[in-house]
Structure 1
Amino acid sequence: MPVKYRGCVQRMSPLPANDWSSTTGGGISGLVLASRLTENPGVQVLVIEAGSNHVEDPRVKVPALYEASKGTELDWGFESESQIRKYMPSCLEAQLKGRRINYAQGRALGGSSAISAHVFVPPSRIVIDSWEFLKNTGWNWKTLEPYYAKVCSNPAHQPQLKEHLGIEWDVKERHGSIQTSYASGIQDPVSKAWVETFKNLGLNMAQDPFSGLPTGAFASLSSIDPATKERSYATTAYYTPVAHRQNLRILPNCDVQRILLERTDDGFRATGVQYLSKEEALTVKARREVILGAGSLQSPKLLELSGIGSANLLQAHGIEVKIDNPFVGENLQDHFVCGIGFEVQDHIPTLDGLRQWENTSRPTGPLTSVGVASYAYLPMMETVSGNGKISLDEIIDGDEPNNGAAPLRKIYRELVDNNLKSKDKASGAFLAVAAQNVVPIDPDFKGSPKGPVAGKFVTLGTMLSQPLSRGSVHILSPDPNAKPSIDPKFLSHPLDLEILARHVSYLPSIAEAEPFKSSILKSGGRRRDPKSLFKTLDDAKNYLRTSGISMWHPTSTCSMLPRDKGGAVNERLLVYGTSNLRIVNASIMPLMPISNIQSRVYAVAERAADIIKADNGLNN
């Protein structure tokens, strides 16, 4: 059957041996599923990946060079819509002054795990249990916790390292696929000062962060192999060890264009995938299932191109409506982050003066670290009384910024009540980065630097753990090669601005506390950006609007929820209206994690593999 592509008629033909059981993207989820499903020699898995295998690329291997992949062929190079729309009359001041937000997303085998900052932080039991509260049977902490033992390993905890990092608990052993380490080790004075400072403040982590109840400060694990000092990611951990399997095949440099659907008596069945290879449009047939692992920004795009989504949107683009579901592409959640750079003493190791890697055999010294070694999950450090009083009830009861948030109003309210008003539950994630962070500046403030400045800095940052703002991702064209419209609607819910402004206002208090102040900061040192010397809460809010950015944690655009509550997939990860099309990636999370999403995506994929095996009778 011919298909028209870029004005030309191209040949469509099946891939040889077209009896593949599953077809997936080659990111974290795709490679986890490929590895686990092909443990059964009777199952054939084909992975279609838009990028290449960069397992030997220094930009991927060397931890400190991860920034070098941004804006290259390893990065999809997405950008958000202008963040200036007037979503609610009550929060016109909450817009980001028309800025477009960059979204770095991995275009390589391994997906974003090939270009991320290696941060491997723990989950929250409260958030995961809320997934089951939202009518997703079996998606709770008790069920998901064991999968972390399959996902990652524990680094060795020598007594000297435990003392340096303030580890005072017995760590549960894990022997999983991703190799983790405390990359900065005992050579890093920032991580030691960070833990000791929070201990003095009564905010240290009192138990294993991976217990599911993390509140307080802790040394962050990194997905960096402690033996090789190189990136440990989906490709090296899940694909390379099984690449020899005859029932596993990777198609690199191929762009999936749409999913092929066949009408049945009770809905639709996915029969295969159309993809582009060397300018030629081809198809592959799937005997068992099609599994979509294209991430939160492209999974809704592929559903819509295939005829699954809002009927009004699809009809506007001339796409045949097969399954009308207006929630596809809605409920986009992301962590909005903002930081302040503080000048540090000359002997403090930072990445500010990092030189190009010269040793082509193995990274050493600062090249083995990304500078992110210190995290904290904290409650609001300012009470909702006195001069800073805000009426949480009044704000949360106001009109929601878009329809995507409405079905989850009850759980949002519960999270606000339980988290924001509690002294022992986290509403914000805090981190220290041993480098200056060059971020957007206020064009009306002339004193802000537009690029790196001389000196050595540590950036203290914070992100809102459970934002109430909800965005969307949708197609702008029926052309499969067109980028989707990404509109996170950052700070469109007024409560987000109120809470995050208070969190960012607390950052100087961390920097000025002991021993961080005397052992890390330079006496009389500068702030990297004078704009961060805000005096009022309004100053902090304006700083957020001009200097806040995405943490690149998009989730929830194909949410696992009841269909009438905003869902795109059910608890078996099947797309509503289909019998064998599943989605496995961060897009299915109905509520996003409280911090970086990498470890959660691996765990979700591991559990999804068991679900798929069970549904297909492959457990024996």
Structure 2
Amino acid sequence: MPNFDFVIVGAGSAGCVLANRLSESGKYSVCLLEAGPSDRYGWIHLPIGYAKTMFHKTYNWGFYTEPEPNLDNRKIYWPRGRTLGGSSSINGLVYIRGQQRDYDEWAALGNPGWGWNDCLPYFKRLEHNDLGASATTGVDGPLWATTIPGKNKLVDAFIGASQKNGVPLVSDFNSGPQEGVGYYQLTTRRGLRCSTAVAYLNPARKHPSLHIETDAQATRILFEGSLAVGVAYRQGGTLHEVRATREVLLCAGALQSPQLLQLSGIGPTALLQKFGIPVLRDVPGVGANLQDHLQVRLMYEVSEKITINDELNSLWGKAKMGLQWAATRSGPLAIGINLAGMFCRALPEENATPDTQFHFATVSAEQAAGKVHSFSGCTYSVCQLRPDARGHVTIRSNDPFEAPAIQPNYLSTERDCRTTVAGVRFAQRVAATAPMKQYMKRPYRPQSDVQSDDEILAFCRQYGTTIFHPSGTARMGPASDPTAVVDARLRVHGIAGLRVVDCSIMPTLVSGNTNVPTVMIAEKAADMILEDARSSGAGRIVVDSRVGQPASNAVATEGALALRKI
């Protein structure tokens, strides 16, 4: 089988970054495997086009959760990108890092090097920010952060009403504190989506040491003892194998990285034995610790025809949007849906930093990316930033092409329920505050008769859905923690030559959208991988960071972090 120094599974938000950084020197050969096709579909690149990819059967995995017991036993649709760029090619483009406290908490949980001050240089490295260079912003990176231009009457009213409710006006949500209200920044460049495929992979195509395979779905990791040596994958109906002479790097996301680990014999013993999979390593944390942001969408009919609904319900409106984009690369087609954001404390007596995020959109529909309502409408999307709920993702069989079972366990804790209800009440206060009040003709959902906490919670259970941020299923933690999956250098505990580099390594969910934090994780991981490669010279680093729990046929180690060359 063909040999490469590194084999990367998944060309998504993290995989494209690694493909670029590991191949740019020309010293190391890299094979990038992507289960989906190339990103040539035109709607991927138009910011408003994520409505066209949300349910696309080719470019979207289209997962569903198991029935959620606290959401009226509904199965929740979970879109995930299935193309170059992964979910960065189909997401809502919002550019958010999270709060300083998120990363300091990661470090405090036993992950040295992951505090805010450690991660900030990588955030600055990755970005080309139109706010200009500062102590917390970068301007030389490949991923663009473009500020949405102001002057939208309805958005300005939302911002003004939020200020009257005690939320400060900000121009940058990403400097660390986060609290405030204002226009979002987006991962767009000159009116087009700036996915990681655009920002990182396209420039890397000129690297002769990079090899890209699309429509190539990984089926299992190949091992010699407890040493990862390659990946098996299916392409065009044929099974192939590719060898990694240094490392296999899993970048398949919070659902499919743990799925692939489990299919390859790394995970909870009882689960693997249930499906006849030989147990290479008993790691209970693989697939556990699943976290996601639940969004609750409040919708109002607007008293003036100033919404995207009005544009999309008119042939002239659609034509005007198209002409504006064609002439100036501006307007609704260049922006997408969510124009403004707010980070506030719905429970200020309990939280010193924001506990709730708002996405405000001048559009309304029965579901995200669905057909817009016939009336002028707007949406307040509310989500709790740091949920207590923990779920899991597990294989259903030993068939690598069967979707995993997903159980988020939304609203399963008392604090999650209280915070979500408080967030809805905060949105209702903003809607009832001038200057926003004058534009709110009537509440569409929930209706005005939903008043008590119990009624609001019932509304949340009936209509709550994902805001597309699954994380934490191969979480980072020290070797002393038996439920941790990877160490602080993202190496799978007890397995040599294997790392996980994507949002599944997050010990706790960041306070906001997860795309930019995932890019940061990959930037930082690339430095670690290259540092380890240089230290090993022409050989391979073998690490067993979980002393006292040897894998079957484990490569011998000396000390807590033993290294040797093969």
The one-letter amino acid of 1:63's match is P
Instruction: Pick the aligned partner of 1:36 from 8, 17, 21.
Output: 21
**Does the 8 Å CA contact 2:386/2:511 hold for their aligned counterparts?**
yes
**1:66-105 matches, cutoff 5 A:** 66-72=50-56, 73-84=58-69, 95-105=70-80
Shift of residue 533, structure 1, vs aligned partner: 4.2
SS in 1 for 2:357: strand
Distance 2:311 2:177 in 1: 37
**1:461-480 matches, cutoff 5 A:** 461-480=381-400
Shift of residue 382, structure 1, vs aligned partner: 6.8
**Does the 8 Å CA contact 2:259/2:393 hold for their aligned counterparts?**
yes
TM-superposition CA deviations, 1:49-97 (whole Å, max 9, x none): 011121x42211111111111221110010000012xxxxxxxxxx111
**Does the 8 Å CA contact 1:148/1:174 hold for their aligned counterparts?**
no
Aligned pair in 2 of structure 1 residues 148, 256: CA closer, same or farther (>3 Å)?
A: same
Distance 1:37 1:361 in 2: 37
**1:7-406 matches, cutoff 5 A:** 14-15=1-2, 18-54=3-39, 56-72=40-56, 73-84=58-69, 95-155=70-130, 172-183=137-148, 185-205=149-169, 208-225=172-189, 227=190, 229-263=191-225, 268-351=226-309, 353-354=311-312, 355=318, 364-381=330-347
Instruction: Pick the aligned partner of 1:591 from 502, 508, 516.
Output: 508
Q: Which deviates more, 351-360 or 230-239?
A: 351-360
**Does the 8 Å CA contact 2:293/2:469 hold for their aligned counterparts?**
yes
Aligned pair in 2 of structure 1 residues 506, 242: CA closer, same or farther (>3 Å)?
A: same
Distance 2:342 2:198 in 1: 29
Distance 2:448 2:229 in 1: 55
Q: Which deviates more, 19-28 or 119-128?
A: 19-28
Gaps of 5+ in 2: 313-317, 538-566
Shift of residue 351, structure 1, vs aligned partner: 4.5
TM-superposition CA deviations, 1:525-584 (whole Å, max 9, x none): 122235464111111000000000011100000000134252100001001111210000
Distance 1:452 1:603 in 2: 35
Shift of residue 318, structure 1, vs aligned partner: 0.4
Distance 2:4 2:129 in 1: 39
User: What RMSD over aligned residues (CA atoms) do the two structures have, in Å?
Assistant: 2.3
TM-superposition CA deviations, 1:209-267 (whole Å, max 9, x none): 22211112132101111x2x00011011001112111100100001100000111xxxx
Aligned pair in 2 of structure 1 residues 471, 189: CA closer, same or farther (>3 Å)?
A: same
Residue in structure 2 matched with residue 455 of structure 1 by the alignment? 375
Distance 1:434 1:465 in 2: 22
**Does the 8 Å CA contact 2:182/2:340 hold for their aligned counterparts?**
yes
Q: Which deviates more, 41-50 or 116-125?
A: 116-125
TM-score (norm 2): 0.88
Shift of residue 368, structure 1, vs aligned partner: 1.3
Distance 2:446 2:413 in 1: 28
Residue in structure 2 matched with residue 444 of structure 1 by the alignment? none
SS in 2 for 1:526: strand
Distance 1:156 1:558 in 2: 34
TM-superposition CA deviations, 1:133-188 (whole Å, max 9, x none): 0000111000101111122211258xxxxxxxxxxx998443321112123x1342
Shift of residue 37, structure 1, vs aligned partner: 0.9
TM-superposition CA deviations, 1:347-370 (whole Å, max 9, x none): 423256424886796865321121
Distance 1:565 1:200 in 2: 48
**Does the 8 Å CA contact 2:291/2:509 hold for their aligned counterparts?**
yes
**1:425-436 matches, cutoff 5 A:** 425-436=353-364
Residue in structure 2 matched with residue 562 of structure 1 by the alignment? 478
Identity, in percent, stands at 30
The one-letter amino acid of 1:488's match is P
Distance 1:453 1:122 in 2: 32
The one-letter amino acid of 1:82's match is P
SS in 1 for 2:289: strand
Shift of residue 202, structure 1, vs aligned partner: 2.8
SS in 2 for 1:28: coil
The one-letter amino acid of 2:8's match is T
SS in 2 for 1:137: coil
Shift of residue 494, structure 1, vs aligned partner: 2.2
**Does the 8 Å CA contact 1:351/1:371 hold for their aligned counterparts?**
no
Distance 1:457 1:69 in 2: 22
**Does the 8 Å CA contact 1:122/1:214 hold for their aligned counterparts?**
no
Distance 2:504 2:182 in 1: 28
**Does the 8 Å CA contact 1:292/1:584 hold for their aligned counterparts?**
yes
Distance 1:513 1:358 in 2: 34
Instruction: Pick the aligned partner of 2:430 from 501, 510, 515.
Output: 510
Distance 2:288 2:462 in 1: 26
Aligned pair in 2 of structure 1 residues 31, 364: CA closer, same or farther (>3 Å)?
A: same
SS in 1 for 2:106: helix
**Does the 8 Å CA contact 1:53/1:108 hold for their aligned counterparts?**
yes
SS in 1 for 2:304: coil
Residue in structure 2 matched with residue 410 of structure 1 by the alignment? none
Aligned residues: 525
The one-letter amino acid of 1:81's match is E
TM-score (norm 1): 0.81
**1:520-535 matches, cutoff 5 A:** 521-522=439-440, 525-531=441-447, 533-535=449-451
**Does the 8 Å CA contact 2:97/2:514 hold for their aligned counterparts?**
no
Distance 1:532 1:483 in 2: 40
Aligned pair in 2 of structure 1 residues 530, 315: CA closer, same or farther (>3 Å)?
A: closer
The one-letter amino acid of 2:91's match is S
Distance 1:330 1:532 in 2: 39
Q: Which deviates more, 19-28 or 254-263?
A: 19-28
SS in 1 for 2:380: strand
Aligned pair in 2 of structure 1 residues 207, 220: CA closer, same or farther (>3 Å)?
A: closer
Shift of residue 305, structure 1, vs aligned partner: 0.5
SS in 1 for 2:298: strand
Distance 2:448 2:228 in 1: 52
Aligned pair in 2 of structure 1 residues 134, 352: CA closer, same or farther (>3 Å)?
A: farther
Shift of residue 604, structure 1, vs aligned partner: 0.8
**Does the 8 Å CA contact 2:130/2:139 hold for their aligned counterparts?**
no
Aligned pair in 2 of structure 1 residues 477, 171: CA closer, same or farther (>3 Å)?
A: closer
**Does the 8 Å CA contact 1:40/1:618 hold for their aligned counterparts?**
no
TM-superposition CA deviations, 1:401-451 (whole Å, max 9, x none): xxxxxxxxxxxxxxxxxxxx13x41111122111113149xxxxxxxxx97
Q: 1:616 and 2:533 equivalent?
A: yes
Distance 1:48 1:65 in 2: 25
The one-letter amino acid of 2:222's match is L
Q: Which deviates more, 301-310 or 67-76?
A: 67-76
Distance 2:163 2:377 in 1: 23
SS in 1 for 2:157: helix
